[in-house]
Amino acid sequence: MNSIASTAAMGAMYVRALYDYEADDRASLSFHEGDVIQVITQLESGWWDGVIHGVRGWFPNNYCQIITSPDDLPDAVHNGALDNAEEAEIYDHNYDQDDDSEKNGPAGVPREDSFTRTPLQRGETMPYERPHQRTESRTASVRPPLVTSQLLSEGEPPTGNLRKGDYSKVKKILGEGPSPQAPATEDTPEFLLPDYENEVSWDARTSPPTIRGGSLLALVEQLTHHDKLDSNFNNTFLLTYRSFTSARELFELLVKRFGIQPPGGLTQADYEAWRDRKQKLIQFQVVNILKSWFGNLWMEEDNKESKQLIRDVYTFARDTVKSTETPGSAPLMAILDQRLGGKEAGCRRMIRTADQDMPTPIMPNNIKKLKLLDIDVVEFARQLTIVEFRLYGKIKASECLNKKWQKKVAEGEPDPAPNVKALILHSNQMKNWVVEVILAQMDVKKRVVVIQYFVSVADASAYLAIQSRCRGLNNFSTLISILSALDTAPIARLKRTWDQVPQHTHTTLESVRRLMASTKGFGEYLMALHAANPPCIPFFGIYLSDLTFIEEGIPSIIKKTNLINFAKRAKMAEVIRDIQQDQNVEYSLQPVPELQDYILNNMQAAVNVHEMYDKSLQVEPRDGEDEMIVRGLAESGFL
């Protein structure tokens, strides 16, 4: 019976603790090695919701091992004593502390307290710490107790308000804090030490020390280390491996790692110690890495080579892994089956905030004969947000590596960054359309009305209807597109038009300009982004700027060595995690296909803004000196 079937047979999912874990807040579970925990909810972040001894809370899954056979469960489970998830105490899932509380439970990774973006410094290497000053380490951790999640679980996760939280437990699961491990001492036998430790460069400036660089073999060894778990390193490796190796080579190295052989000259006792304390743990780690890779972090193209690789991994899991009785072969094969069938594997799909009601669309009176100004500005912003979130959510980690979005693609070749380019194209088309609609109005008063309309859309995109006290859309992407359009030369030069724009519209526009100003490293914007509760669509251009700077400013190989600069990859992964965090929480908005079609068709048909300057001169010709004097006198009431 495979593990999935076994779990079904048990009626619930259980894990056994591999290590002691002391929770550091009321929302988490404490347990000891050997304890059995019933799993209620699984999040891709690595935080699982479970029950032990009648208490419910969150715990890191890398401290535990899934129990795959009913025979391995204690008698208490079979007697129903542990199957009490519905009656268990839920620890502080509806947080009611004051906003200034330092500990609001495992609310995921908070947006960073410092909003000033520290410029990246060019240099030989950079420390393996967070480079992107938006978050503390915004991995796929998606605020466990705060969302209603569509996951592979037995029960509903707890809900509550989105708030900042203490993330010391997140540090543990991401590897920023001490991992459960058996640290090497002077008494550790040589055969239990890492084999490629001399090919790793460590950065002692961080606490604990982090990997600065290493050979490919040494990095794969760290990925499958037998005496420690570092989820942050593993996640960084799997997000960025395509910048220094291929999927095929990585798989072959993992197979080699799984088949590790004992050194010569071991006594029977030493061999048994090596087998139990090194070989089996390495094999277990290899299987876990393969599950993570193909389950949640698979980023290869859907082509013949990738499908053949998946088949090869399946054969390895079926024949080699299963024959060694290493746990995890059945779930790994299930994941690979899904991949071969063209389905997305993994337990995380999309989540929606539990307290977000879907508003009723604001429909125009005549949807069959639509005109721009017939569409309510709030509904316009909503429909654009749905479209942009769909584009943003498709961006893959692999598209963010090696400046792929800048590469020219030869005819017939697959585009390495199609989704990044699609979002960029959408933003440019939006800008073009805004400019075109304004310049299509020959009457100055009509141009003023259109400008007012788009300023209101920009404001609604950021804040939504404040008077209705709804939460903001947090769509900074639409906001920057409209702002860019209004600041283009063909629109900015329309002095007579701008002179008639009402003061309250100017005030709103200036507040938007301050928000998105590039001064102080986009400090105002980053502050707003930090404060924004998801869902959110960030200004993607900042991420591309950071990724470009990292790519161009930090060498891929550590100078005077052949070591892969892993600190560079850590910085790239940090930006990618920022991108991914806002892909996890979807908007609770109802699509209106007719409105979306109207908006998209007009956007795609718009002329490039660089071709509109002549049209701008046509609607407002340049003033000669005499004309300026006459107009000035007329506007002053003398003529």
- Quote the pLDDT of residue 448: 98
Q: How far is residue 454's CA from residue 247's CA, in Å, rounded to a whole number?
A: 46
Span 546-559, average pLDDT: 96
Other CB atoms within 10 Å distance of the CB of residue 273: 15
Residues 6+ apart with CB under 8 A from 484: 427, 431
**Architecture of the domain delimited by 127-160+188-355:** Up-down Bundle (1.20)
- Quote the pLDDT of residue 159: 34
pLDDT digit string (tens) for 443-474? Answer: 999 999 999 999 999 988 876 433 333 346 89
Class of the domain covering 358-494+509-538+582-615: mainly alpha
Span 558-584, average pLDDT: 95
167 and 139 Cβ atoms separated by less than 8 Å: no
Q: How far is residue 412's CA from residue 288's CA, in Å, rounded to a whole number?
A: 37
Least confident span in 61-70, 243-252, 295-304: 61-70
Least confident span in 62-76, 211-225, 538-552: 62-76
156 and 143 Cβ atoms separated by less than 8 Å: no
Given a cut of 80, whether residue 326 has pLDDT beyond it is yes
| Domain edges within the chain | 1-101, 127-160+188-355, 358-494+509-538+582-615
Given a cut of 80, whether residue 633 has pLDDT beyond it is no
Other CB atoms within 10 Å distance of the CB of residue 317: 24
- Quote the pLDDT of residue 10: 42
- Quote the pLDDT of residue 239: 96
From the number of C-beta atoms within 10 Å of its C-beta (0-12, 13-18, 19+), residue 445 rates as exposed
pLDDT band at 121 (very low <50, low <70, confident <90, very high): very low
- Quote the pLDDT of residue 363: 95
What mean pLDDT, rounded, does the chain reach? 79
- Quote the pLDDT of residue 245: 97
DSSP-derived letter for residue 200 is: E
- Quote the pLDDT of residue 297: 92
Other CB atoms within 10 Å distance of the CB of residue 346: 18
Given a cut of 90, whether residue 125 has pLDDT beyond it is no
Selected residue with higher pLDDT from 349 and 504: 504
- The reply to whether 358-494+509-538+582-615 shares the fold of 1-101 is no
Compute the CA torsion angle 400, 151, 537, 456 (nearest 10 deg): 160
Given a cut of 60, whether residue 361 has pLDDT beyond it is yes
pLDDT band at 531 (very low <50, low <70, confident <90, very high): confident
- Quote the pLDDT of residue 60: 84
Given a cut of 50, whether residue 155 has pLDDT beyond it is no
- Quote the pLDDT of residue 30: 87
Total residue length of the chain = 639
Supply 616's token pair.
């701008």
pLDDT band at 107 (very low <50, low <70, confident <90, very high): very low
Span 105-127, average pLDDT: 40
- Quote the pLDDT of residue 472: 67
From the number of C-beta atoms within 10 Å of its C-beta (0-12, 13-18, 19+), residue 557 rates as middle
Given a cut of 90, whether residue 498 has pLDDT beyond it is yes
pLDDT digit string (tens) for 251-274? Answer: 999 999 999 999 999 999 999 999
Q: How far is residue 402's CA from residue 406's CA, in Å, rounded to a whole number?
A: 9
Q: How far is residue 571's CA from residue 123's CA, in Å, rounded to a whole number?
A: 13
Selected residue with higher pLDDT from 94 and 493: 493
Least confident span in 113-127, 174-188, 261-275, 595-609: 113-127
- Quote the pLDDT of residue 368: 87
CATH topology of domain 1-101: SH3 type barrels. (2.30.30)
